Amino acid sequence: MLPDLMNLLRNVVGTEHVLSGETAAPYCIDWRGRYSGQALAVVLPGDTQQVAAVVALCAEHRIAIVPQGGNTSLSGGSVPLPQGQQIVLNLSRMNKIYALDTVNYTLTVEAGCTLAKVREAAEQANRLFPLGLTAIAAQCEIGGNISTNAGGIGVLRYGNMRDLVLGLEVVLPDGRIWDGLRSLRKDNTGYDLKHLFIGAEGTLGIITAAVLKLFPRPQSVATACVAVRDPEVAVKLLAHLRANCGDKISAFEIISRSCLDLVLEHIPDTVEPFVTRYEWMVLIELSDVLQAP
């Protein structure tokens, strides 16, 4: 039955997009090499219809699917088990930008678009997509960001990925396509089913496309690194800033001594920010759509 399935998968996505053996290996291990497994095959669909057909085939043959985006999530969810009885469904080929609406401030993309590509597209239109995962933006993909409800440094002002999604397209476990690609902001009709899929790590379906919210691009940015006595003082400082700067606070990240020591030890050209070695520091960013005077 399995050789049959392999041929059926090849018929759907094309022979060159069904990988096995050595070519499949890089998709079966996580970034740090902490989790690794084996897949029956790694399948790289080119569009939503192909995802739907692959999912329907796997449902019929009772084969489990591990959806995979950029494989950056470090917790094993995007890597197959060692028994080699699952397929990896990698969405990286599905990286089209469908539409950018500067009037409605929305961007409609396929799930395999990298975060960097999305941020760049927004920037070129003088808009901002605020999910801030700079270290991995070139690798992680919108489908993965949505499936992990990613946060990053912009959460205080813009919210988690859940707050940045207006609509979704999802392939359900039996291969049906759920079309929820809506860009209406004031949408108060019935249940908001998209939220079931956000943060679900592929357990309820495979996200194939999304409508994302864009924001005005900040024209002025100010950053500060502030040493504080302890986290309690940091929280009070945040409350004080909120009272005085409102939602101009675009990042507020606490940094512990042990964390900074690791950075100084392992990342070249980094330096102690203060003459004194403080135990706790806060990195603050304020930004505004107005130009600085």
Ligand X SMILES: Cc1cc2nc3c(=O)[nH]c(=O)nc-3n(C[C@H](O)[C@H](O)[C@H](O)COP(=O)(O)OP(=O)(O)OC[C@H]3O[C@@H](n4cnc5c(N)ncnc54)[C@H](O)[C@@H]3O)c2cc1C
The binding site for ligand X (CB under 6 A) comprises 66-74, 77-78, 91, 111, 133, 135-136, 140-141, 143-145, 147-148, 150-152, 201-202, 206-207
> Residue 150's closest CA among 210, 216, 86?
210
Please say which residue, 133 or 228, places its beta carbon nearer to ligand X: 133
In the chain, what's the furthest Cα-to-Cα distance? Answer: 70
Name every residue whose Cβ is closer than 8 Å to that of residue 256 and which is 6 or more positions away in sequence: 279, 280
107 residue type, one letter: L
DSSP assignments along 103-160, one per residue: TTTEEEEETT-BHHHHHHHHHHTTEE---B-GGGTTT-BHHHHHHTT--BTTHHHH--
- Nearest-angstrom CA–CA distance, 161 and 142: 9
Paired residues of 198 in beta bridges: none
Minimum Å distance from CB 219 to ligand X?
A: 25
For residue 174, CA distances in Å to 60, 62, 170 come to 8, 11, 11
Return the residue matching tokens 């409609």.
Answer: 108
Contacts of 34 (CB under 8 A, 6+ apart): 74, 76
What are φ and ψ of residue 259, in 5° steps?
A: -65, -45
Whose structure tokens read 């901002």? 128
Q: How far is the CB of 265 from ligand X (least distance, A)?
A: 17
Please give the angle made by the CA atoms of 134, 293 and 251, to the nearest 5 degrees.
25
